Amino acid sequence: LCQATRQRQEEIRSLSARATKTIVIGGKHSSNTMKLAEIAKKFGTGEVILIETALELSHLSFKPDDIIALASGASTPDWIIDQTLDYLKNIQKGHQK
C-alpha cells in the first residue's frame, strides 16, 4: 500500500470509532473505497454509508447530535469531496433535511 492509502485507512479506523455515521466517498467498485468502508464497519460503532456523489445523501436523515466521519477513496475527485462537505454543512445550518 502507498503511504496515502495507509494513512486514509488508519484515519478512518480512528474516526469511525467515534462517529454515529461514517460516510465513505468513492467508486462503489473501487477496492480502495471498499476497504475504507470495510474498516469503518469493523472498527466503527455507527452506520457506514458508501456514496459516489453527495446527491446520494438526500434520502438519509441526519440528527443534530450525529457525529459524522468522512473519508474518500484515493481517486475520488476533489470536487465530489467538496460537494459532499457543502451538503453536510448545509444540513448543519438546517438547509437540508
Q: Report which secondary-structure segment, H or E, holds 47.
A: strand 47-51
Q: Which amino acid is at 71?
A: A
Question: What pLDDT, on the 0 to 100 scale, is given for residue 1?
Answer: 67
Cell of 6: 495507509
- Split at pLDDT 50, 70, 90, the class of 18 is very high
- Split at pLDDT 50, 70, 90, the class of 78 is very high
Question: What pLDDT, on the 0 to 100 scale, is given for residue 87?
Answer: 93
Q: How many distinct structural domains can be found in the chain?
A: 1
As beta bridge partners, residue 72 has 25
Question: What pLDDT, on the 0 to 100 scale, is given for residue 45?
Answer: 86
pLDDT surpassing 70 at residue 41: yes
- Split at pLDDT 50, 70, 90, the class of 92 is confident
CA distance 2 to 48: 24
Q: Which amino acid is at 78?
A: D
* Residue found under cell 471498499: 34
Residue 85 sits in which domain range?
3-93
**pTM for this model (two decimals):** 0.89
Question: What pLDDT, on the 0 to 100 scale, is given for residue 51?
Answer: 97
Backbone φ, ψ for residue 90 (5° rounding): -65, -35
> What is the number of H-type helices and E-type strands within the chain?
3, 3
Q: What is the CATH classification number for the domain harbouring 85?
A: 3.40.1010.20
